[in-house]
Amino acid sequence: MKHFDSLGVMIDCSRNAVPNVKGLKRFFEITSKMGYNTVMLYTEDTYEVENEPYFGHKRGRYSIEELKELDAYASSLGLEMIPFIQTLAHLATLKRWRAYRHKVFDIDDILLIDEPRTYELIENIFATLAKTFSSRRVHLGLDEAHHVGLGKYLDTHGYTDRYALLLKHLNRVCEIARKYGFETMMMANDLFFNMAPGVFCTDEIKEFPAEITENIPKDLAMVHWDYFGTDEKRYDAMLLSSKKLSDQVWFSGGAWTWGTFSPHNRYSIGRNEIAIASCKKNGIRKAFFTLWGDNGGECPYFSVLPALMHIAALANDMSETEMKNKFKEITGISFDDFLTLDLPNYIFGENVTVESPYFQHSPCNYAKTYLYDDPFLASMSVNTKINDTDVFGDYAVRLAKLADEKNEFSYLFSALSALCSVLEIKFALGKRTRTLYENGDKEGLRKLAETEYTNLLPRLEDFYRTYRKQWYTVNKSYGFEIQDIRLGGLSRRIQNCKEILISYANGEIDRIEELEEQPLPMKDTYITSWAEMVSANIV
């Protein structure tokens, strides 16, 4: 039975990794065979806008010609390619250019409402979109603009009711969209539930005042997004509440690719089983599933094909056997083998369930936090009550074996095998270093420096090379300069720490300052920010 009129996938193209045209075409082919009929490319400023030369400058933006080519190819496969843009917040990369910084921004990454230049920019956006996409639907973004009206707008106009301000802007944006032929606009629903930062989901059906509901455009669809929920009651309440804002409601779930090198297929599957059941029960017939790329776009979109296949199977009442057979037919790899890509974050063993306390409210991100955890500062490793783990050697071998099968996706397994090989040494390196230092074991530190620190460097180089190949296989070249900086900086730091340890062991220095100070835990297990991982200083 077909439960969804629109079933889609959204790929983040705005967090440094901009998928290349060849890779996207292949992805479209695979998802269309799975049963999807909608695709979205999340583009904050990574698309060409006529008369706005700085929009997406040096960011690998898609040209009008590239998007037309992708739109036509998607259409040939039965996929509607819906533009997904931002028209209020999440435009921090645009703010770096003087052409925009002092004119169109209110506060944070939020556009300045009532500023004529803001609407000139939005008009240029829609004029370009209208000639680029064949779809007459558009996602306007409008999520997480928590401080709207509290910056330059407040300085200029004084305090204004922020819901009235949001609705005023929303109506003006929709008016511009209509002018250029768009018939259905979509927006994230979170600000209507909580204008302040924090959790916006509720497990009670919410009523909204008339001054809100009566001013929402009738051709605007509400998109309820939830990537974390474990209780069907919460999905039910939020979907039913969203229906009070619009008679057109979409659900947006997550296929977790964000904040890490390794995907979270198992976590995604567990959450979306609950979400899709709620959608079916509450008559939600339009849904899409997001592949975000927060903090660098490190995890390639092909990594979550199992989660996407599982979603399509749930949406179309496919049995597990049918699903796995179809996945193998489409990809050439078994469903269970593909799930092996999840392993680098499973430091407690792969049988830990997604409901374990180690996952808390979000997936864990151990593969990235321990990769970048400074061996002297230990800001990340202090978060985890585990001194060592022996899983990474096994994971590296298993992933390498799958890479050696030389299938279409070998590069995915190669990169994560190399990462696990790094983590086999790197995972406990900080704690081993600190323990030997606190015990006054200079010869132990010398041996550690000459063996593990030394052996880590070629493994880091191998990971860099395999990861670089992966990036250029699926993405444009833009954005990889950040990976050069991060991974290159890590290698340089390991070399420096090694040299300091040897100097200390030789008596050339009498102490190592960073190891004199005890580290304190920073946050929970899900940290995405590289800057937070590597230092408490300004990056």
Structural domains in the chain, CATH included, are: 6-331 (3.20.20.80), 341-534 (1.20.120.670)
Q: Does 360 score more than 70 pLDDT?
A: no
Give the model's pLDDT for residue 358.
61
More confidently predicted of 47 and 198:
47
C-beta separation of 122 from 176 below 8 A: yes
CA distances to 44, 433, 483 from 381, in Å: 34, 12, 22
Give the model's pLDDT for residue 527.
81
Angle (nearest 5°) at CA 93 between 91 and 97: 110
C-beta separation of 253 from 287 below 8 A: yes
Tokens in use for 402? 């799958």
Spatial CB neighbours of 234, under 8 Å, sequence gap ≥ 6 = 201, 202, 203, 226
C-beta separation of 126 from 51 below 8 A: no
pLDDT tens string 320-342: 999 999 999 999 999 999 999 99
Spatial CB neighbours of 414, under 8 Å, sequence gap ≥ 6 = 399, 400, 403, 466, 469, 470
Helix, strand or coil, per DSSP, at residue 470: helix
Spatial CB neighbours of 159, under 8 Å, sequence gap ≥ 6 = 149
Give the model's pLDDT for residue 525.
61
Tokens in use for 327? 């996945």
Among 182, 106, 190, 188, which residue's Cα sits nearest to residue 151?
Answer: 106
Spatial CB neighbours of 536, under 8 Å, sequence gap ≥ 6 = 377, 379
Give the model's pLDDT for residue 359.
65
Buried b (16+ CB within 10 A) or exposed e, 451-475: ebbeebbebbebbbebbeebbebbb
pLDDT tens string 459-495: 999 999 999 999 999 999 999 999 999 999 999 999 9
Tokens in use for 508? 């050339």
Give the model's pLDDT for residue 298.
97
Q: How far apart are CA 72 and CA 81, in angstroms?
A: 9
Tokens in use for 387? 């001194």
Amino acid at 87: T
Q: Does 2 score more than 90 pLDDT?
A: no
Residue 63: band (very low, low, confident or very high) from pLDDT cuts 50, 70, 90 = very high
Question: Which range among 131-140, 169-178, 379-388, 503-512 shows the weakest confidence by mean pLDDT?
Answer: 379-388
C-beta separation of 80 from 123 below 8 A: no
Q: How far apart are CA 220 and CA 248, in angstroms?
A: 7
Q: Does 523 score more than 80 pLDDT?
A: no
Tokens in use for 122? 């939005």
C-beta separation of 194 from 200 below 8 A: yes
**245 backbone dihedrals φ, ψ, rounded to 5°:** -95, -30
Q: How far apart are CA 278 and CA 284, in angstroms?
A: 8
- The DSSP bridge pattern shows strands 110-111 and 105-107 to be antiparallel
Helix, strand or coil, per DSSP, at residue 139: strand
Q: What's the half-sphere exposure (Cβ side, CA atoms, 13 Å) at 218?
A: 0
CA distances to 7, 19, 91, 392 from 422, in Å: 38, 26, 35, 9
**36 backbone dihedrals φ, ψ, rounded to 5°:** -85, 150
Amino acid at 446: R
Q: Which residues pair with 487 in a beta bridge?
A: none
pLDDT tens string 290-304: 999 999 999 999 999
The total number of residues shown for the chain amounts to: 539
Tokens in use for 386? 């585990």
C-beta separation of 230 from 267 below 8 A: no
Give the model's pLDDT for residue 538.
93
Give the model's pLDDT for residue 196.
87
Tell me the average pLDDT across 447-465.
98
